[in-house]
Amino acid sequence: MMTDLYQSQRAMRQMRRQAMQRGVVAVLDVGSSKIACLVLRFDGTGRLSEDNSIGSLAGQTGFRVIGAATTRSRGVQFGEVTAMQETERAIRTALQAAQKMADIRVDHVIASFSGANPRSYGLDAQVDLEGQVVSEAEVGRVLNACDVPDYGVGREVLHAQPVNFALDNRSGLIDPRGQMGQSLAVDMHMLTVDAVAIQNIVRCIKRCDLELAGIANSAYVSGVSALVEDEQELGAACIDMGGGTTSVSIFMKKHMIYADCVRMGGDHVTADISMGLGVPAAVAERIKTFNGGVHATGADDRDLIDIGGDTGDWEHDRRTVSRAELIGIMRPRVEEILEEVRVRLDAAGFDHMPSQQIVLTGGGSQIMGLDGLATRILGQRVRLGRPLRVHGLPQSATGPGFSSAVGLSLFAAHPQDEWWDFEIPVDTYAARPFKRAVRWFRDNW
């Protein structure tokens, strides 16, 4: 099963390489409230500006967004596909509009999704080097030597990223290749998700006549785009408050070391408002967007919001609610989400991180006064994050709701080395069935 995954991930990498050669790839963020699609055009490697500085785009100049479209998501709940046909139609809508804008046909797509119970594992391994110098094959060997835990049937590895290399007694190496030493140790972060969720997304994309060139967890990609470089280096948590889920990812030394997901999000707040006020979901969504908040002040008691309705009953259609009441509905739910995030961060040992920066992003982070509330629950160092600026991104897609779409395009341009980017050593790859047969023989006779 591991080899299976290894092969399919390698096939996706191959697909990505093809897309790079063609120069056009689409990124698709399948969220619970909206599906965002960006069409990227790659025009060579990123060039530095004349004075050799990184520049305002943090060196991310290798690509350009030439098409962008969003559509209301259908058939996705908690970041997982629940109604295949509906999701397929939504993907088709977004993709068609983006293609239309880009005026080019796209055949390769890189997708991200947030749900499916992500679970993080930290793996490590140590091998003695065969030669003096660390070669690519040695890196592959040490990665393969990692003791993979039993992550359960029906789960798939989504990411397996080497986050730290140690050579003899020197730790914290980013790239040990070409260095001299005796033994090589690696720490790897592995993220597993429900296999069914991946399969559903893959099927939806296949049914749209597209080739999947990569798949990523949206907690990871929104961290890539919303955290600035020093936060990624020194350690920070990115909290992406989406519609159906709130995903948490912790970064350290430019690598994700933990990811998790709380199955609550902005849609639950809307549902609470809808239930509490007795209004349709669309109206509740609008009231939340325009008048929502989490900090009630004295003036809010006199802010009466017209919640309306079109039943024809005058009394019913003239209903109003004060903003304080609205806040009273929203705040407990937001607090609950943030408490849950706190629990996940504590479980991951975020307390022990040297830098405890927390960045809130995602569409849900636009609730007024959220940073103040988050400061009380999560800690002092909280800021609201917006995605990195990339070339050609329309103004309407620069909000925090698009941080995972933008992060996904950064991921498409510069993917991180994963376990499957290194060759499996031949001996384990080929000799394992034989070894297993021998072992079985010895055990039984």
Partner 1 sequence: MRPLTATRTPVIHRSKSLAGPDADFDSGARSEAEPKLRLRGARLFGRKSNRFDPAPSRLSYRVQRWMLTPGIRRGLKLGLPVLAICIAVGVYFGSEQRREAVVAYVTDLKTSIQQRPEFMVNLMAIDGAGTNLSEDIREIVPLDFPISSWDLDVEQIRDKITGLNPVKLATVRVRPGGILQIDVVERQPVIVWRTRAGIALLDETGAHVERIASRKDHSNLPLIAGKGADVHVDEALQLLTTARSLGTRVRGLVRIGERRWDLVLDRGQRIMLPTERPVRALERVLAVNEVQDLLERDVAVVDMRLGQRPTIRMTKAASEDWWNTKVTVGSEQ
Q: Could you list the residues that contact partner 1 (CB under 8 A)?
A: 34, 69-72, 74, 89-90, 92-94, 96-97, 99-100, 103-105, 208-209, 282, 285-286, 289-291, 299, 302-306, 308, 320, 323, 396, 399
Query: Are residues 361 and 241 in contact, defined by beta-carbon separation less than 8 angstroms?
Result: yes
Q: Residue 64 or residue 92: which is nearer to partner 1 going by CB?
A: 92
Residue 369: alpha-carbon gap to chain centroid = 25
The DSSP-derived string for 99-160 is: HHHHTS---EEEEEE--S--EEEEEEEEEE-SSSB--HHHHHHHHHTS------TTEEEEEE
- Pick the closest to residue 373 from 261, 292, 436 (CA basis): 292
Nearest approach, Cβ of residue 59 and partner 1 (Å): 28
Give the phi and the psi of residue 88 in degrees, each rounded to 5: -60, -40
Q: Residue 47 or residue 206: which is nearer to partner 1 going by CB?
A: 206
Nearest approach, Cβ of residue 353 and partner 1 (Å): 35
Angle at 353 between CA 349 and CA 176, to 5 degrees: 105
Q: Residue 69 or residue 248: which is nearer to partner 1 going by CB?
A: 69
Q: Residue 90 or residue 143: which is nearer to partner 1 going by CB?
A: 90
Distance CA 259, CA 246 (A): 11
Nearest approach, Cβ of residue 97 and partner 1 (Å): 5
Give the phi and the psi of residue 179 in degrees, each rounded to 5: -90, 160
Nearest approach, Cβ of residue 64 and partner 1 (Å): 18
Distance CA 352, CA 107 (A): 45
Question: How far, CA to CA in Å, does 337 sit from each of 161, 246, 261, 267, 294?
Answer: 28, 8, 11, 12, 13
Q: Residue 70 or residue 164: which is nearer to partner 1 going by CB?
A: 70
Q: Residue 150 or residue 209: which is nearer to partner 1 going by CB?
A: 209
Nearest approach, Cβ of residue 281 and partner 1 (Å): 12
Q: Residue 59 or residue 276: which is nearer to partner 1 going by CB?
A: 276
Q: Residue 260 or residue 285: which is nearer to partner 1 going by CB?
A: 285
Distance CA 54, CA 148 (A): 39
Nearest approach, Cβ of residue 99 and partner 1 (Å): 6
Nearest approach, Cβ of residue 381 and partner 1 (Å): 30
Distance CA 152, CA 156 (A): 9
Q: Residue 5 or residue 305: which is nearer to partner 1 going by CB?
A: 305
Angle between helices 403-413 and 218-226 (to 10 degrees): 90
Nearest approach, Cβ of residue 92 and partner 1 (Å): 5
Residue 346: what residue type?
A: D
Nearest approach, Cβ of residue 199 and partner 1 (Å): 21
Q: Residue 80 or residue 285: which is nearer to partner 1 going by CB?
A: 285
Q: Residue holding tokens 């290894």?
A: 6
Nearest approach, Cβ of residue 165 and partner 1 (Å): 44
Q: Residue 25 or residue 193: which is nearer to partner 1 going by CB?
A: 25
Q: Residue holding tokens 């609950």?
A: 336
Q: Residue 104 or residue 173: which is nearer to partner 1 going by CB?
A: 104
What are the residue ranges of helices labelled H in 190-295? 195-207, 218-226, 229-234, 266-277, 281-291
Nearest approach, Cβ of residue 159 and partner 1 (Å): 30
Residue 362: what residue type?
A: G
Angle between helices 370-378 and 323-348 (to 10 degrees): 40
- The full length of the chain comes to 445
Nearest approach, Cβ of residue 209 and partner 1 (Å): 7
Distance CA 247, CA 341 (A): 8
- Pick the closest to residue 227 from 239, 218, 216 (CA basis): 239
Query: Are residues 198 and 110 in contact, defined by beta-carbon separation less than 8 angstroms?
Result: no
